Amino acid sequence: MKFKPYEQSQINLLPPNIEELIPEDHMVRVINSVVEQLDLRSLYRSYLEEGQPAYHPKMLIKILLYGYAIGVRSSRKIAEKNKSDIYFMYLSGNQQPDFRTISDFRLNKRKYLEEYFNQVLEICRIVGLLSLGHVSIDGSKIKSNASKKKTRDREEILLFYENKVKKILDEANQIDEEEDKKYGKDKSGYEIPKELVGKEKLLKKIKEAKKKLDQQKKLKRINLTDQDSRFMKKSDGGIDECYNGQLAVDSDKQVIAAYDLTNISNDNHLFSNVYKKS
């Protein structure tokens, strides 16, 4: 047998456990454990009892922390990764809050997030997961693998964390505002165009694209901006990327009776098509 069996529709006899797929030494396990130890009671009290139950703030803190830790500031991208990235799925418990929920949580609960993010960084520093901190040596002096420029007192460290957290949250806010303008407040930017929604529609479009691709393979040159345009000789003797247009005009009333537009440069057999349309 040349290939291993490949069946996308194969059903698992038992549902998979995401936690078993997460390496023991992965960062998400640290984030998960640290957040579980935070005292979030003041944040919980900021929620009202009325209305529909909200997504658990503990879960939202975890996915925001991990997103920011790996450089993902956009609420839209975090929401998308909750559907496609196993590490985010692990932290979210396979829940999928939309990007607006994530963005609003960050905006409305920012003062709590700043406090908790600072706590997480400090805890990570204490357990040795961050390089900032003092190196204390008693007895013989042995040069450590650290620069004295990196040594800070506790106030400086906390101020550094505070400024870093504020910067991250400001960047996330700016990115969300820019994406709101670009996609619209209710759009994630990952939506499939309506004409592609549905298996049959999508398959039809794919077949059309495949046919077009096969036709393009026969061409020696393709314009990257408009792949349907072709090099044609113009009336002034020059050559440029063009389309070939034909018009049928009523000579008495000076009205356009029919028209056609094609990327075929030779007019010989095109006028008859316009004549038929008129």
Q: By C-alpha distance, which of 138, 130, 190, 195 is closest to 158?
A: 130
State which residues form the domain around 270. 230-277
Do the domain assignments include residue 166?
yes
Do the domain assignments include residue 142?
no
Rounded Cα gap, residues 124 and 260, in angstroms: 69
Which of 142, 171, 192 is a domain's end point?
192
Name the helix (H) or strand (E) containing 43: helix 41-45
Same domain, 174 and 258: no
Q: What is the pLDDT of residues 23-42, one digit of tens each?
A: 887 888 888 888 888 889 99
Q: What is the pTM of this model?
A: 0.56
Name the helix (H) or strand (E) containing 242: strand 239-242
Do the domain assignments include residue 34?
yes
Q: What is the pLDDT of residues 38-85, one digit of tens each?
A: 889 999 999 988 888 999 999 999 999 999 888 888 999 999 999 999
Same domain, 124 and 23: yes
**Number of structural domains in the chain:** 2
Q: What is the pLDDT of residues 138-176, one digit of tens each?
A: 333 334 444 444 444 657 666 776 777 778 788 888 888
As a whole number, the mean pLDDT across the chain is: 74
Same domain, 127 and 242: no
Give the pLDDT of residue 5.
82
Same domain, 125 and 249: no
